[in-house]
Each structure stands twice: as structure tokens, then as C-alpha cells.
Amino acid sequence: MEPEISIVIPVYNEAGNIRPMYDALVEVLGSPERSFEMIFSDDGSSDGTFEMVASLHAEDTRVQGISLSRNFGHQTALFAGLSYARGTVVITMDGDMQHPPEVIPHLLEEHENGYAIVNTKRIDSTKTGVMKRLTSKWYYTLINALSDVPIEPASADFRLMTREAVNALIAMPERKRFTRGLVSWMGFDQSIVEFEVGERFSGKTKYTFWKMLRFGLDGVTSFSVKPLRISFYVGLIISSLSIAYGIYAVVIFALGRAVPGWTSILVSVLFIGGFTLLSLGVIGEYIARIYNEVRRRPMFFIKDRTEQMIRNGAGETP
């Protein structure tokens, strides 16, 4: 019998959070008339995270888990977990207790009101650093200015989706996935529930500055070609100014009023050279995305799994 609700939880080195997460979810979802499963998607942990999941599975078969062959990244681990979810309703959330399980009844309530996708929006606690808040605000301002798909500021990968929405998300073959953008792009009737970020129960965040920067670039390049267009238009303006300056220089030379101008030449060369390198970097990001997509490598490999784990679709790897 298929469960009514699947909870998909991507984890990486979260051994200390598995049991508290399980206890909290059982307390919230433990109603006898509601069947559910928890799927922990272990992203190549090295601290015994999957062993904790397997131990819980031995106690309660509603706990399921897969272990990826290496660290593929949060978005891939999330996709892998969704690929194994069997519920008619699927809820995704992080495994560090910062996505409070107590919010789940509110998500289910919104779903009962007719929404196929119920997203969440973070309300940062007073302990959240000023720099964290500012960078988050700047990021969503930038991505919404550049993207062709609106992304809700302070959104999270804590959401509810119906089976139809999950199947649509899984069916998209992109390798470099920006789930928040994909969910927004899919459509369906969507709603938003606000929640206050909880305290991390154990361990430390896995999102370093460079991972956040990479995540941000994926968000922009996944849903917009505006950076390419901006590069084109700025290049067109610079070329026009260069032609005008060239005509001016020839006229001044012909009139015999030419003077040494190494400063203007140096500034012009540095500006044009810097913009050229920046444009090449932008083009390179898009070419890299194309390269990663056309290789068609599997998104992940499964190293281990608990019993009864059957993927939604043929084959062991996507």
C-alpha cells in the first residue's frame, strides 16, 4: 500500500540530527489515520549518517534511506530522494531541524484548500547575522532582475507537492538543477506559508561561501539569458564609443593638435580588456552548462539503500 505522505530529507554528515528529526516527524505525523514514509537521501556522508538511517529503519520500516556513491550536492540529493518517494503528497525539507516539522500541518492545510504546491518563506530569527540577511536580500533582488522566472525572496526547499507536481519535476531532464526556479517555472496552483527558521540541532552548515556563490550562478544561468544580452549591449555601446573616439582622434591628428594621451589610452585598454574578460566568463558559464547537459551522465549513483526502496522509473540511475 502506498503511503499518503512522503517526507524527503537530503542529508550530508547529519548523523546527530537523524534521530531528533525522526522523533519530531513522528510526533507531528503519527496520527493512526495518516500513513507516511520518511526518505533520507544521504549525499555521500562520512560520519555514519546512513548507518543511523539504517538503524532507524530496523526499528520502524516507515523510515527509508538511500546512500549516494559520493557527495553530488544538495540539489542532486533532493532529486534522488524525490525519485524514490511514493506518496500521493510529497514534502521536502532539510535534515538539520531548521525547517521545523511543526509547520507541516500548515502545509497540509493549504494543500487541502486546493493547492498543488505549497512553498515556504523564511522569517529569519534575531540570531541570523546581518550579513546573511543582506546577502540573501541582494541575491534575490539580483536573480529576479535577471531571471525570466520570478523567485520568491527568502524561499526555501521546504515545500509540499502533489504527486502530479512531483512527476512533472522529475520529468525535467536538467542535470544542473535549481529546484526553486524549476518549481516556480512549472506552474500549478501554488501557495506560500511563512515559517520562522529553527535552531540547528547538531553539526554545522555545509553551505560555504563558494557553494552559495555556485548556487547563485546556477540560479541565474538556469533561468535567464539576460547576462549574455547585457554583455552584447554593453559591448555594442563600447564599440560605438570607440568608433566615435577613433574619428575624433583622426580629426585632431589631421588638425595638428594631437597631444600625448597615454592616460586615456591606458584607461581605455584596461576598461575594454576587463569587460572582454568578464564577457568571456559569462559566455563560459553558459557553455559549461551546455557541456554538462549534453554529456548526459547519470545524475547520481546509489551505493546503498534500505529495503523496499524502488525508484519511480526504470533503471538504477537516472
Do 50 and 304 touch, CB atoms closer than 8 A? yes
Query: 140: closest CA among 128, 152, 149, 131?
Result: 152
User: The pTM is what?
Assistant: 0.72
Highest mean pLDDT among 65-69, 192-196, 272-276, 283-287: 65-69
Contact indicator for 229, 147 with CB cutoff of 8 Å: no
Distances (CA, A) of 311 to 24, 142, 167, 176: 26, 37, 12, 20
pLDDT score of 283: 80
Is pLDDT at 118 greater than 90 in this prediction?
A: yes
Instruction: Write the pLDDT tens digit of every residue in 14-40.
Output: 888 899 999 999 888 877 667 889 999
pLDDT band at 317 (very low <50, low <70, confident <90, very high): very low
